[in-house]
A = this chain, B = another copy of it.
């Protein structure tokens, strides 16, 4: 196992540039993780804008709804997107206006309206989703399959660890 090395040069400054050689592995690891996710997210934003004139938050809402035929409540949607309810209300309103999603009145509770994709929304999303999968493939093209599986496993461990740490001291 190699020791950590500084692969960041001045011409490619990023979030990792805040880590010094003497910083702890954990901090360097976090800044590298953040750099990767920011780079990939930024690329997805650019591609969605260029090729579909849409935004990442809109894509994310459609992606979550595509998984469930019965729709989901705003609470479920915000939990899955890991953002606050208020952040997606306006987004959902606009997607409803445009006909990509619709509100289904709940049979049990008027307050917990469900939203779901319309057939039109499902069609729009299918095209975006297929292109998005290709862009993601390109992002990972330089990482071998064994390394991808290893990375997937290690991120699973990190996710478990982060969840435990959040549960132990959040107020």
Q: Name A residues whose Cβ lies closer than 8 Å to a Cβ of B.
A: 1-4, 7, 12-15, 17-18, 20, 23-30, 32-43, 46, 50, 60, 63-64, 66-67, 76, 79-82, 133, 136-143, 145-166, 168-171
Judging by beta carbons under 8 Å apart, are B82 and A25 in contact?
no
How many copies of this chain are found per oligomer? Answer: 2
Closest B residue to A25 using CB positions:
B148
Judging by beta carbons under 8 Å apart, are A141 and B161 in contact?
yes
Chain A interface mostly: helix
Minimum distance in angstroms from A138 CB to a CB of chain B: 4
- Residue pairs across A and B with Cβ atoms less than 8 A apart, 7 shown, are A7-B160, A12-B163, A24-B133, A43-B166, A140-B161, A150-B154, A154-B154
Minimum distance in angstroms from A82 CB to a CB of chain B: 5
Contact A37:B34 (CB < 8 A) given known A80-B18, A142-B160: yes
A141 contacts across to B, CB distance below 8 A? 161, 164-165
A142 contacts across to B, CB distance below 8 A? 157-158, 160-161, 164-165
Complex CA distance for A153 and B1, rounded to whole angstroms? 9
Closest B residue to A154 using CB positions:
B151
Judging by beta carbons under 8 Å apart, are A158 and B151 in contact?
yes
Identify A154's interface contact among B14, B43, B133, B147, CB under 8 A. B147
Judging by beta carbons under 8 Å apart, are A136 and B26 in contact?
yes
Judging by beta carbons under 8 Å apart, are B165 and A43 in contact?
yes
A161 contacts across to B, CB distance below 8 A? 139-143
A15 contacts across to B, CB distance below 8 A? 80-82
Complex CA distance for A157 and B145, rounded to whole angstroms? 12
Complex CA distance for A12 and B35, rounded to whole angstroms? 25
Judging by beta carbons under 8 Å apart, are B40 and A153 in contact?
no
